[in-house]
Structures are given as C-alpha cells and as structure tokens.
C-alpha cells in the first residue's frame, strides 16, 4: 500500500482543531512508514508542471553545456550538475556492491545567497530564465518545508519553535533528477538501480515524481522489502523523514529508506522494453552548519537515554559523506 495521502489545507487554512488533527495524522504516518503524501500543499500545479518542463530542458542540453556547471565534487555539499552518482556505495548494507551505480544525472541547487558553497549555474544565454524559475521553486519549497516542520512540532506536542529554530537558517537543496531511458533488462541486472536504497541526509525531503513511477519505500513491517509510492495525482508532495529528524527525535521518528527501480507494472509485463526517461524534483530541508543535529531534550529521558551524540549539522554531514572538510 502506497503511503497515506493527507490534505494539507487542514493545516494551512484549518481551525485550531483541524490543525491539531492534521498534525497528529502527519506524525502517525511518519511513524508508521517514514513517508506520507500531501495534497493541497500550496505549491500550484502549474508551478510543478513548469518545473518538470525546465528540468527536461536542462537535461536535454548537450553534455558539454551541462558540464559547464559541473559539481566540483570533493568534500563539500553538491552544487551544480553531476552524472552517475555513486553515493549508494556508502550506504550501510550496500557496501558489498562495489560496482553499484545509480543510473541518474542531477542538478543540485543550494540557498540562493550561499557564499560558502555558491551555486553553479548554466549561462543565462544558454537557458534563459532557468535560474529565476529554479530559485523561485527553492523559495516556495522552503516555505512548504517550514509548514511541515511546524505541523510535526505540533503533532509531537513540542513547544512551538523547537524544531524550526534548529532548522533555520537552513542550508537546503533543490535537486532535479533525470533518470535516462534504460533497458528493463539492464536495470533488473543485479548491480543497477535507478537509485539504490538510502535515507536522505537532511531533516526531511519533499519530493515530486513524474507519472513514470518507480519510487519505493521500505515496508517497516517486513524490513528489506519495498512498497511502490504511487499517486493518482503527480502533483502530490511526497514527504519523507530523513536522518536529522531521526536524530532530533532520538529515534522516535525514523528516516524512511527508499529506492528507485523498475515500476511494478512494467516488471510484470514480461517484455524487455526500454523504460522511458524519468524526472523528479526533490527538496532536501537541511539545517545550517552550526545548528544542532543532536536529540531535542524533550526526547531524552531516563527510560530513553540519548541514542545520538550532540553534534552540529556540519559534523553530521561530514560523517554521512564519510569525508572530512
Ligand atoms: O527520484 C526519486 O523519486 C527519488 C530521488 C531520491 O531519492 C533522492 O534524490 O535522494
Ligand atoms: Fe532520496
């Protein structure tokens, strides 16, 4: 069963009672699955449609053009274009898969005014208005993430601001993903996935996938097995709990493990067709470097001592990347 869909207008426009009900539902879904889908989340359908179309236009550029804004790589947050990420190798459980390659290319965009890790943009004349649209998308998703955090605080009975003050100022990321067309047989091959199982590094992720599908989340009642995230409406916002939310809540809300693979309906049709290309729009809510990634005091009790140490978000990222910078 796909994750539950909740109507976010109950929180955004609702009465005090509606807001509390929504907040409780949200937390209970995250607790159950690590994943939930939101409808009426305030990001206009048109904006989503346009963002998919910008992503397509960007990835359709020549490799040479895309490489003009290449991610420098190395021990720093990703900024710019990367192809065939190999991050999955670092995931616990994937260590044996030395040839594991994620079949995708992506563009990572950090905060608009980030001077420490500045964005890498394609020249304006190559793709006029692209930057403007992506920056607007970043700002819109950042606002939505703020609302989701506010609802999680309420649903967990935390004093208002306990999480928001740890999330902001943030160093979030928009990531546009493109999974090229690939033969089904190739993708079913043991060492290829569109994305290997992983949890996201930040606080939470807000994802929109196109109608091709293929995103799957772990069934917590049967670890190691995955359930497709399906949507009738491709403007649904898929929310998943990420590592820092797990740390803040001292393990109460666990990060949702997920992967992208051959959609189930395509797996069973038996032919070796080509899978169409797939696009997704991710927003990773990430705290600023100095913000805490340790457990919030409300979650640490005598019966439940701290499972995580008190470190900064930057230190968490260093550990997660397995890199020192
Ligand atoms: O493309 C998707 O559906 C998932 C992307 C993802 O998991 C990621 O970028 O971390
Ligand atoms: Fe992810």
- Which atom of ligand 1 is the closest one to the Cα of 280? 1
- Which atom of ligand 1 is the closest one to the Cα of 194? 1
Q: What is the pLDDT of residues 82-126, one digit of tens each?
A: 987 554 444 555 544 445 567 789 999 999 999 999 999 999 999
The protein residue whose alpha carbon is closest to atom 1 in ligand 1 is 280
> Does residue 76 or residue 156 have the better pLDDT?
156
3-state secondary structure the chain: CCCCEEECHHHHCCCHHHHHHHHHHHHHHHHHHCEEEEECCCCCHHHHHHHHHHHHHHHCCCHHHHHCCECCCCCCCCCEEEECCCHHHHCCCCCCCCCCEECCEEEEECCCCCCCCCCCCCCCCCCCCHHHHHHHHHHHHHHHHHHHHHHHHHHCCCCCCCCHHHHCCECCEEEEEEECCEEHHHHHCCCEECEEEECCCCCEEEEEECCCCCEEEECCCCCCCEEECCCCCCCCEEEEECHHHHHHCCCCCCCCCEEECCCHHHHCCCCCCEECCEEEEEEEECECCCCECCCCHHHCCCCCCCCCCCCEHHHHHHHHHCCCC
> Does residue 134 or residue 214 have the better pLDDT?
134
- Which atom of ligand 1 is the closest one to the Cα of 179? 1
Q: What is the value of pTM for the model shown?
A: 0.93
Q: What is the pLDDT of residues 243-262, one digit of tens each?
A: 999 999 999 999 999 999 87
Choose which residue among 52, 86, 207, 275 to substitute to test ligand 1 binding: the one with the highest number of ligand atoms within 8 A of its C-beta. Answer: 207
Q: What is the pLDDT of residues 179-230, one digit of tens each?
A: 988 887 777 765 667 888 999 999 999 999 998 889 999 999 999 999 999 9
Compute the distance from residue 256 Cα to the ligand 1 centre, in Å.
12
The protein residue whose alpha carbon is closest to atom 10 in ligand 1 is 200
Q: Give ipTM to 2 decimals.
A: 0.99
């Amino acid at each position: 069963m796909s994750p539950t869909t909740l109507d976010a207008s109950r929180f955004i426009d609702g009465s005090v009672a509606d807001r509390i009900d929504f907040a409780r539902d949200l937390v209970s879904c995250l607790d159950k699955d690590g994943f939930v889908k939101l409808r009426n989340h305030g990001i206009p359908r048109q904006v989503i449609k346009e963002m998919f179309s910008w992503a397509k236009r960007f990835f359709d550029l020549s490799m040479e053009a895309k490489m003009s804004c290449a991610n420098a790589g190395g021990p720093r947050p990703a900024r710019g274009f990367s192809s065939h990420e190999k991050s999955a190798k670092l995931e616990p459980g994937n260590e044996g898969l030395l040839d594991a390659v994620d079949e995708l290319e992506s563009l990572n965009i950090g905060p608009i005014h980030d001077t420490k890790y500045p964005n890498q943009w394609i020249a304006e004349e190559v793709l006029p208005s692209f930057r403007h649209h992506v920056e607007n998308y970043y700002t819109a998703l950042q606002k939505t993430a703020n609302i989701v955090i506010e609802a999680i605080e309420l649903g967990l009975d935390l004093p208002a601001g306990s999480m928001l003050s740890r999330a902001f100022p943030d160093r979030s990321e928009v990531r546009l993903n493109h999974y090229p067309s690939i033969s089904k047989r190739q993708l079913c091959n043991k060492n290829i996935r569109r994305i290997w199982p992983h949890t996201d590094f930040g606080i939470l992720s807000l994802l929109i996938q196109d109608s091709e599908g293929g995103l799957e989340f772990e069934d917590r009642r049967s670890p190691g097995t995955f359930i497709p995230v399906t949507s009738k409406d491709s403007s649904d916002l898929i929310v998943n709990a990420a590592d820092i939310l797990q740390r803040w809540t001292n393990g109460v809300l666990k990060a949702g493990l997920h992967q992208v693979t051959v959609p189930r309906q395509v797996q069973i049709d038996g032919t070796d067709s080509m899978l169409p290309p797939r696009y997704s729009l991710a927003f990773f809510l990430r705290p600023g470097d100095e913000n805490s990634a340790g457990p919030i005091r409300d979650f640490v009790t005598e019966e439940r001592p701290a499972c995580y140490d008190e470190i900064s978000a930057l230190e968490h990222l260093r550990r997660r990347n397995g890199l020192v910078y």
